Amino acid sequence: MVSTIHDIGEHALIRRSIQKKTSDNFQVRTGIGDDGAVVSPKKGSCSIVTTDMLIEGRHFRWSWLSARDLGRKAMEVNLSDLAAMGAMPQFVTVALGLPPQTTEREVKDFYRGARLALKPYGAEIIGGDTNGTTSAQGWIIAVTMIGYVSRRSHIPLRSEAKVGDVICVTGHLGHSALGLHLLKQNKNWQDGKPFIQKHLKPQARVFLGQSLAPHVHAMMDVSDGLLADLDHILRQSRCGARLEQESLLLTPQYQRVAQKVALDPVALALSGGEDYELLFTAPQEKFKKINEIAKKHRIPITLIGHVVASKGLKVLDSQDRLIRVQYKGFQHF
Amino acid sequence: MVSTIHDIGEHALIRRSIQKKTSDNFQVRTGIGDDGAVVSPKKGSCSIVTTDMLIEGRHFRWSWLSARDLGRKAMEVNLSDLAAMGAMPQFVTVALGLPPQTTEREVKDFYRGARLALKPYGAEIIGGDTNGTTSAQGWIIAVTMIGYVSRRSHIPLRSEAKVGDVICVTGHLGHSALGLHLLKQNKNWQDGKPFIQKHLKPQARVFLGQSLAPHVHAMMDVSDGLLADLDHILRQSRCGARLEQESLLLTPQYQRVAQKVALDPVALALSGGEDYELLFTAPQEKFKKINEIAKKHRIPITLIGHVVASKGLKVLDSQDRLIRVQYKGFQHF
């Protein structure tokens, strides 16, 4: 018999899904099962707090991914914010809104995926709230994540870009947006698989972010698209940027598949969302060191432009001509 | 012209609604506007973390309350969890899922109400995520709250009730459930107003909780109804309880209005949800001290029973006869 959340009830479900083992993290004094979790912050540390909500139909469709993948992705999206602050993930709360027909299995799988994503960092789910919904409005997932950085370490804020800085990104841009497009178009091509995987199973650059933090000025994660996100850094740092289109790392396979679905690979790399890569600015002289760090983590880093004094964001082609970019990232509504 | 969230866009809305003033709380190093907020925990303190989700249609209806009241209630519900841990509220994150027709005014009012509720404690909203929803599924509000207690202070967990303890509650039980019933039945009676107010504008017992914490064994807030919540304490403390029905503080007005809508006042007081009062157990000899504290806070405290060794929860009438209780609190689904 399949147990639905309606049969089991909220409290039992939380117990069954989360409280699988008692906490062995010395910093958690009391975990799930009381009014709040009790945690001792590490001595001499700052806490970084971030929150994100995923809504069925808006951020994901069940036909695309399993409950386990969803749990994983709900964590990675938040882990990526911590990565951009150079923080170590520590504690997580998960609030769920669920339709009544949700099965116990789905909820357990969701938490299994979530724990899997947190495991490399020793981070722990310490609190939860589970609500059955009366309407069929689908899954709602709200995650809050708390990480830490040492009190003396540099936290690379968005406001800290300096004129003359190089602008760099990790990994490949546009891949997730291409994958999302393939999913929506139902294109199940062999050569499209890596992009679909990148969309459904993003991997936050947590360890890389921690290694980069001491050497960069501004850093953030690319979730709304390169241009939209870089715009945040430029506004908060009160400066501008010139990007060289030629320097974007576009793989032949990416270009081929994008063209097969009539998408402009460059525009997609500049504006596609949900890459969960890191975007940062750093002093020119640090670039060698940064490359060494990237090599150690086996994640490519590309220099895509420079921070300039004159406001605004210009994208130039190989002949230094201004490129008109069709769209500027996606707004969440 | 009324601005909807669709016109304004997510980022502008968050900026306009939350970043009204820069943080003047010395512990917040960076507030809203980056990937995460940076906060310094107080030296020698433990953090208490709690989370709750409110869903339109399930937890509230717009015809009953304003956006400002909703913001207030979304905070009080979480403040109540911190109160039960004897914690001082400190930091808050708010994730919102909103229908596209939501107005800027509504969101601003929501945050205004939220800030109002947090003000007495100097607590601050440090992070947010706002999502427009594609369907008309209504408002979804997920709040995570972080409070602190001194590392050496006693945190009254649910597992700490001892045989022989007195069982006490603050304020009046059943009032919120009566108010909810009146709202659902559209009974706008003059003598029903206080109960409707209690339901729409609960006030968490934060300062009282802090004062009580050193003197009690187990403590929690009454959100699912007295019997259901006391059951959590008894299970986690591996003991039972005897409650004296006669000792429940039922005001004449409460009894009269309950009877007017054909509800049993006793059953309602035992099982009604959302009172957000404190339920605690304490050594008999502490009761005098506890009463003094309550008097100082001008909040009534009632001794309603005792913790006993034999498992289970018994409710007795004035002749020591066992009472059958019709329903045992509400399950959240």
| pLDDT-derived band at A127, boundaries 50, 70, 90 | confident
Among chain A residues, the shortest Cα distance to B32 is held by: A50
Mutate one of B49, B60, B91 to test the A interface: name it (highest A CB count within 10 A). Answer: B49
Task: For chain A, say whether B96 makes contact (Cβ under 8 Å).
Answer: yes
Is-contact A68 A95, C-beta < 8 A? no
Q: Between chain A and chain B, how many beta carbons pairs sit less than 8 Å apart? A: 229
Whose tokens are 């939860």? That residue is A128
Question: What is the C-alpha to C-alpha distance for residues A164 and A28, in angstroms, rounded to an integer?
Answer: 44
Contact B2, B103 (CB under 8 A): yes
DSSP class of residue B134?
A: S
Instruction: Check A51 against B91: CB less than 8 A apart.
Output: no
B9 CA: distance to closest CA in chain A (Å): 6
B224-263 confidence digits (pLDDT tens): 999 999 999 999 999 999 999 888 889 999 999 999 999 9
- Closest chain B residue to A148, measured at CA: B38
Q: What is the pTM of this model?
A: 0.87
Q: Which residue of A has its CA nearest to B80?
A: A35
Q: What pLDDT sits at residue A44?
A: 75
The pLDDT of residue A25 = 46
Is B6 in contact with A50 (Cβ distance < 8 A)? no
Q: Is the dihedral of CA B167, B168, B172, B175 positive or negative?
A: negative
Q: Which of A6, A25, A53 has the highest number of chain B CBs within 10 A, making it the mutation to test binding with B? A: A53
Q: Which of A46, A52, A159 is nearest residue B95 as measured by Cβ atoms?
A: A52
pLDDT (mean) for A160-177:
96
The partner residue sitting opposite B155, judged by closest CB among A38, A52, A157, is: A38
User: B53, B229, B238: best mutation site toward chain A, by most A Cβ within 10 Å?
Assistant: B53
- Using a CB-CB cut-off of 8 Å, the residues of chain A touching B98 are 333
Query: B201 vs chain A: nearest CA distance in angstroms?
Result: 20
* Confidence at residue B128, expressed as pLDDT on a 0 to 100 scale: 82
Max avg pLDDT among A82-96, B43-57, B147-161? A82-96
Q: What is the pLDDT of residues B34-93, one digit of tens each?
A: 777 777 777 777 888 999 999 898 889 999 999 999 999 999 999 999 999 999 999 999
Using CA atoms, how far residue B137 sits from A64, A107, A134, in Å, is 22, 21, 11
User: Using CA atoms, how far apart are residues A99 and B55, in angstroms rounded to an integer?
Assistant: 12
- Residue from the list A87, A95, A159 with its beta carbon closest to the beta carbon of B51: A95
The rounded distance, in Å, linking the Cα atoms of B63 and B138 is 13
Place of tokens 């190093």: B29
- Pull the structure tokens for residue B251: 């005001």
For residue A198, the SS3 value is helix
Asked whether the beta carbons of residue B236 and residue A33 sit closer than 8 angstroms, the reply is: yes
Note whether B81 contacts A: Cβ–Cβ < 8 A: yes
For residue B317, what pLDDT band results from cuts at 50, 70 and 90?
Answer: confident
Greater model confidence, B146 or A152: B146
B142 lies within 8 A of chain A by CB: yes
* pLDDT given for residue B25 in this prediction: 46
The Cα-based distances of A98 to A6, A58, A142, A263, B140 in angstroms read 10, 15, 12, 36, 12
Q: Report chain B's mean pLDDT, rounded to a whole number.
A: 87
| Cα-Cα-Cα-Cα dihedral sign, residues B154, B155, B156, B157 | negative
Confidence tier at B322 by pLDDT (50, 70, 90): confident
% chain A with pLDDT above 90? 66
Q: How distant is the Cα of A291 from the closest Cα of chain B, in angstroms? A: 24
User: Stretch B278-291: mean pLDDT, rounded?
Assistant: 97
Contact A34 B157 (CB under 8 A): yes
To test the contact with chain B by mutation, choose from A6, A80, A144 the residue with the greatest count of B C-beta atoms within 10 A, namely A144
**Per the CB < 8 Å rule, is B46 touching A52?**
no
Q: Which residue has the higher pLDDT, A126 or B182?
A: B182
- Joined tokens for residue B178: 């009566």
Per residue in B197-207, pLDDT (tens digit) is 999 999 999 99
- ipTM score assigned to the predicted complex: 0.84
**CA distance, residue A78 to nearest chain B CA (Å):** 9
